[in-house]
Structure 1
Amino acid sequence: MIVNATEFKMRVGKYLKMAEKEEIIITKNGKEVAKIVPIKKQGTPNADFLYGFMENYPNKEVTIKQIRGERIRKYESSY
């Protein structure tokens, strides 16, 4: 979501609540000046993203092909 600085200042609580789930970009005079992003509670975002799909690989030594295959199977099983 993009919001101007004046709007953000007037309703900071609302935008902080929204930032728990999505990025908020703040503009000033039409230019992007800041971004508020949700905080991940555990680990590093990159590792969580890649290895979160790889529950069956405890040593975490996997290839890109294995990661893609695991992700595809996850989505196929949800239908």
Structure 2
Amino acid sequence: MIINATEFKMRVGKYLKLAEKEEIIITKNGKEVAKLVPINKQGTPNADFLYGLMRNYPNKDISPRQIREERIGKYENPN
């Protein structure tokens, strides 16, 4: 579901309830700015995702934390 920021602000409770079951993308001035997603209560898909990242990562001696810091660093210091 895609909604604009004004609609989200006016009916935040409704969209938080809907976000328990489906993804909601919020737009501002026609551009996607945020996404609400259901919380994964089982936890395994995220673990499977991280395992897949580690398996395909070229440097096998790096920890998941180092990968995370490297990925975040790309956004904090884009140069």
TM-score tier by shorter-chain length is 0.5 to 0.7
Q: Identify the residue that residue 28 of structure 2 maps to in structure 1.
A: 28
Secondary structure at 1:3 match in 2: strand
From the two aligned structures, give the one with the greater helix fraction.
2
**Once the two structures are aligned, what percentage of the paired residues are identical?**
92
Match runs of 1:61-76 below 5 Å: none
Give the CA RMSD over aligned residues. 1.9
Q: Identify the residue that residue 13 of structure 1 maps to in structure 2.
A: 13
Unaligned ranges ≥5, structure 1: 49-79
Moved over 6 A (4+): none
TM-score by length of 2: 0.56
Give a deviation string over 1:9-67, Cα, whole Å, max 9, x none: 0000000000000000000000000000000112232557xxxxxxxxxxxxxxxxxxx
TM-score by length of 1: 0.56
Q: Identify the residue that residue 41 of structure 1 maps to in structure 2.
A: 41
Q: Tell me the distance in 2 between the aligned counterparts of 1:23 and 1:45.
A: 16
